[in-house]
Amino acid sequence: MSFYSYYALGTDKYPPFTLNSTDYPAELDIAYPEHLSRVKVLFKWWLLAIPHYLILGAMLGSGATFAMGVGDDEQGYGGQVGFSLLTLLVLVGAIILLFKEKFPSSIFDFAMGINRWMYRVVAYAALMTDEYPPFRLDMGPSEPQVPPSPATTGDVSL
């Protein structure tokens, strides 16, 4: 749903109501692990993910949050509206899309890189995988193919 709406404006095609659709342009595929570490469950979702939370918090969080004076309650507190880097990217892309009828590929690629990073961290923090998410922004319309590391292939180099 976020690919269609707020986080990317990636397609005009409304998301299907089924999880088995193969014709939708966005796909989230998390391989079912053969084995998950029972010890890591205690600390990986909060302790090991803190560096990712800090970086993604700067990109996705409400760093430039301001209080609005509309709808103040008795204490004078208004609602909060936050603008993150991703929000601003998609907003600028939407305005350009409105006038040029084409979403700028550089803005789309950067927004997709942030989304990929976010979903890797979500899968790790939700205990769906033991693979630590890389600190990288994979930009582009599709997921780049990363060669397997020597640790996963069994090759040892001296």
Q: Is 158 exposed, middle or buried (0-12, 13-18, 19+ CB in 10 A)?
A: exposed
DSSP class of residue 127?
T
Give the amino acid at 135.
F
Measure the CA–CA gap between 111 and 137, rounded to whole angstroms: 10
Tens digit of pLDDT for each residue in 78-128? 555 567 888 888 889 989 989 998 889 999 899 888 888 988 898 888 888
29 against 148, higher pLDDT: 29
Instruction: Name which residue leads in pLDDT, 74 or 140.
Output: 140
- Domain map (residue ranges) of the chain: 40-69+79-142
Confidence (pTM): 0.70
35 in helix, strand or coil?
coil
CA-wise closest residue to 87 among 120, 65, 119:
65
Helix extents (H) in the chain: 50-60, 85-100, 105-125, 150-153
Tell me the pLDDT tens digit for each residue of 81-90.
567 888 888 8
Q: How many CA atoms lie within 13 A of 112 on its CB side?
A: 22
Separation CA 14–CA 5 (nearest Å): 9
